[in-house]
């Protein structure tokens, strides 16, 4: 299912979400007149591909919040389409999403080797480097939205025990993000529902 979440009144861009059958990863689609930004394409349904057909002429730009395979399961498939490219955070990140042990797919017997075969230099997001949940976690800021990945996420979805997790790094990342994010920001997390940064900030400060 693909659901519209809200419309940004200043530029009329619309944000949609689809929740994957694989670990409930949230994929977000930010659509305006000329582009579709896709954040964390997990395993997408046929319905989503069908829905995307209406944006044939739009540029599609893919962003990934971190290296775990459930968040980039369909990247290779999407990059095979025309007019589609990914934004790469770093060469190290590209190596991690290619490596089954680093992207964790090896441990789930579903080997995923994602390759950012088509890349774009254009960046629409402010990138906040936030290691902790994983070595290469980042969050993306866009207007009053924060794509939180598995980093800014409700407590019940927070995991800091995976290979590559680091609790000390996580704490530093959270301090950093608290300094950079205004409290009325809407968080679009990698799993679970949207929430206001202010509410999350209060709870995680307790």
Residues at the site binding Zn ion, with contacts judged by CB under 5 A: 68, 150
Half-sphere exposure of residue 75: CA atoms within 13 angstroms, side-chain side: 30
CB within 8 A of 13, min separation 6: which ones? 7, 30, 31, 32
DSSP 155: G
- For Zn ion, the closer CB: 43 or 68: 68
Which residue sits closest to Zn ion, CB atoms considered?
A: 68
Instruction: Closer to Zn ion by CB, 23 or 55: give it.
Output: 23
- Min dist CB 23 to Zn ion, Å, is 9
**Is the CB of 68 or the CB of 72 nearer to Zn ion?**
68
Q: To which residue do tokens 């979400």 refer?
A: 17
Distance CA 89, CA 82 (A): 22
Please state the closest distance from residue 88 (CB atom) to Zn ion, in A: 18
Closest CB 135 distance from Zn ion, rounded Å: 11
Q: Round to whole Å and give the CA distance between 110 and 113.
A: 10
Q: How far apart are CA 138 and CA 151, in angstroms?
A: 8
Q: Residue 52 or 139: which CB sits closer to Zn ion?
A: 139
Q: For residues 13 and 94, which CB has a smaller minimum distance to Zn ion in the complex?
A: 94
Q: In b/e form, how buried is each residue of 101-110, taking b as 16+ CB within 10 angstroms?
A: ebbbbeeeee
Write down the least CB distance from residue 32 to Zn ion, Å: 28
Helix, strand and coil percent figures for the chain, each rounded to 5: 25, 25, 45
């Amino acid at each position: 299912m693909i659901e519209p979440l809200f419309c940004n009144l200043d530029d009329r861009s619309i944000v949609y979400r689809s929740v994957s059958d694989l670990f409930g990863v949230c994929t977000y689609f930010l659509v305006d007149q000329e582009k579709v930004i896709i954040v964390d394409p997990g395993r997408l349904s046929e319905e989503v591909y069908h829905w995307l057909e209406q944006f044939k002429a739009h540029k599609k730009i893919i962003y990934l919040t971190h290296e775990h395979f459930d968040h980039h399961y369909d990247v290779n498939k999407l990059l095979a389409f025309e007019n589609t490219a990914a934004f790469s955070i770093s060469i190290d990140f590209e190596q991690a999403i290619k490596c089954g042990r680093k992207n964790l797919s090896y441990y789930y017997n579903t080997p995923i080797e994602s390759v950012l075969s088509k890349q774009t230099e254009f960046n629409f997001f402010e990138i906040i480097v936030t290691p902790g949940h994983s070595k290469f976690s980042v969050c993306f800021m866009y207007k009053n939205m924060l794509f939180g990945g598995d980093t800014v996420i409700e407590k019940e979805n927070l995991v800091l025990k995976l290979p590559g997790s680091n609790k000390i790094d996580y704490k530093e990342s959270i301090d950093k993000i608290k300094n950079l994010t205004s409290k009325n920001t809407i968080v679009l997390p990698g799993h679970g529902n949207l929430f206001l940064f202010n509410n999350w900030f209060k709870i995680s400060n307790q």
